[in-house]
Amino acid sequence: MFKFNTKYVVNKITNLKKYQVSINTIVKKINLGSLEGTEMMGWVDLIENYNSHELLLMKKKAIEWQKLNLKYIVVVGIGGSYVGVRAAIDMCCGSYNEKTPEILWVHNIAASYLLPLLKKIHNSKFAIIVNSKSGTTLEPALGFRLFREQLQKNVGISKLHKYIVAVTDYEKGTLHDFAKHNHITTFGLANDIGGRFSTLTAVGMFLMIVKGLNPLKILQGAKQARKDCESDNLSRNSAYLYACYRHYLYNFRHLSIENFIVYEPCLEFVGKMWQQIFGESEGKEHKALFPALSLFTTDLHSMGQYFQEGTRNFFETTLIVNKPRYDIVLKIHDDNDKLKYLNNKSIDFVNRKAFEGTIEAHTKLGKVNNFVLEIDYADEWHFGYLFYWFATAVTISGYLLKINPFNQPGVETYKNNMFKLLGRKK
């Protein structure tokens, strides 16, 4: 299950009753739809009213692809069309799911990244999933063109449509029109769900199904998170409490960075998903915490000194798995490397003690505030729970900052400059 642990928080909120009043006001306004951005909260009801017909179509298409004996699946997407679904795949499949095609992620326009991928799929059986609401965002549009051209060489133009799935706008747009004209299977994106909140739509669900994940378990986890987040009472709603603590540490303790920590590489993209959800939702009007990400124990050997004794301008949030998918029990009968004290102990036991030793050092001696998110397993249910819990927390956190957590006007600035420099005409 899931637990939000505040045991290691050094600076407790001094006036929780005042925050409770703010929460009550925000929730009331959300329910009335009177706050800017609430029209983009389609993800809230999505899990309860999931399009079962579309889910069946996704399963049917996944079975069709299984019969094609694909070696690779090229996933074209960036931002919310990439980070969340990769987080789900990495978390739930790890590195050992060899029964399904290998995923090649096309999320960058550097030639040094794309060319090796194109060489890898040359003369191979592969399919493409392209995620883009409009089809005009440069990175996925360019990636789709390159890999579509290679696919056409491999299978021929008459069979091209069998090997492509487009997740795009239901009714309009460049990608929608291209897919319709070429008889390509499409799954829709609703207008009331933004990119970083779209992971449980077809953007993520289709690939999860292809990779063998159970979509019903994902939805069950999300539904449980919604149930757990129904109460306005901060003593019973951990997502709201997390949002209040973030605001308190930023606004009243003047901390500027939140360092999100994972202890397993398969959770690194869950951290990136958290980073995008909070960074893109809150980074406006020169406000908000900077969402940093660390992989421990790896980063303890590069940044550990800073975390322990550097500037006290940050706090930490750690995601820990109580029962990891894999473990190794050590059998050490000699002491040549001075490791015999670890005989009969497991690797997870060692990793857990690294976590416990680190958080004690950072809290007691380093005086760093620490939150701990505990999940029992790295599986579909817990991914669904985490996704909904993060989305709920950032909604409240954003409104506490008095900003709209659902838009991203600043992203358009770099896009407009880039298109201008490239000579694109409106």
The model's confidence at residue 418, banded by pLDDT at 50, 70 and 90, is confident
Q: Give the model's pLDDT for residue 426.
A: 64
Q: What is the largest CA-CA distance in the chain?
A: 71
Query: Could you give phi then psi for residue 341, rounded to 5 degrees?
Result: -65, -10
Q: What pTM, to 2 d.p., does this model score?
A: 0.94
- The string of DSSP codes covering 347-391 is HHHHHHHHHHHHHHIIIIIT---EEEEEES-SSHHHHHHHHHHHH
Rounded to whole angstroms, the Cα distance separating 339 from 189 reads: 54
Asked if pLDDT for residue 225 goes beyond 60, the answer is: yes
**254 included as an active-site residue:** no
Nearest alpha-carbon partner for 209 in 220, 218, 221: 218
Distance in angstroms (rounded) separating the CA atoms of residues 302 and 310: 13
The continuous run of DSSP H or E covering 261 comes out as strand 257-262
The stretch 395-418 carries a mean pLDDT of: 90
For range 312-327, the mean pLDDT: 95
| Start-to-end C-alpha separation, the chain | 50
Pairwise CA distance, residues 172 & 134, whole Å: 8
User: 424 pLDDT band (50/70/90 cuts)?
Assistant: confident
Element (H, E) at 224: helix 215-228
Contact 311, 324 (CB under 8 A): no
Query: What is the mean predicted confidence (pLDDT) over 282-311?
Result: 96
CA 369, 371, 374 angle in degrees (round to 5)?
A: 160
Closest CA to 266 of 320, 195, 206, 330: 320
The answer to whether the bond into 297 is cis (omega within 30° of 0) is yes
Q: What are phi and psi of 103, to 5 degrees?
A: -90, 130
Q: What is the rounded distance in angstroms from the CA atom of residue 417 to the CA atom of residue 377?
A: 44
Dump strand ranges (E) for 263-331: 290-295, 314-321
pLDDT one-digit tens code per residue, 129-142: 999 988 888 899 99
Q: What is the pLDDT of residues 57-91, one digit of tens each?
A: 999 999 999 999 999 999 999 998 899 999 999 99
pLDDT over threshold 50, residue 292? yes
Residue 122 has pLDDT above 70, yes or no: yes
Render pLDDT for 18-60 as a digit per residue (tens, 0 to 9): 999 999 999 999 999 999 999 999 999 998 889 899 999 999 9
Q: Which member of 280, 282, 316, 380 is catalytic? A: 280
Residue 207: how many other CB atoms lie within 10 Å? 24
Cα(365)–Cα(374) distance, integer angstroms: 23
- Whether 97 has a pLDDT exceeding 70, the answer reads no
Mean confidence (pLDDT) of the chain:
94
For the question of residue 415 being annotated catalytic, the response is yes
With a pLDDT cut of 90, the percent of the chain lying above it is: 86
pLDDT at 409 over 90: no
SS3 content of the chain, % helix, strand, coil (to 5): 50, 15, 35
Q: Are 199 and 84 in contact (CB under 8 A)?
A: yes
Q: Taking each helix axis as running N to C, give the angle between helix 83-93 and helix 202-210, from 0 to 180 degrees, rounded to the nearest 10.
A: 30
Q: Which of 7, 301, 333, 425 is catalytic?
A: 301
Q: Worst-scoring range by mean pLDDT, 9-13, 187-191, 244-248? A: 187-191
Tell me which of 208 and 411 has the higher pLDDT. Answer: 208
Is the pLDDT score of 96 beyond 60?
Answer: no
Is 301 a known active-site residue? yes
- How far is CA 165 from each of CA 12, 288, 317, rounded to the nearest angstrom? 49, 37, 37
Q: What percent of the chain has pLDDT over 70?
A: 99
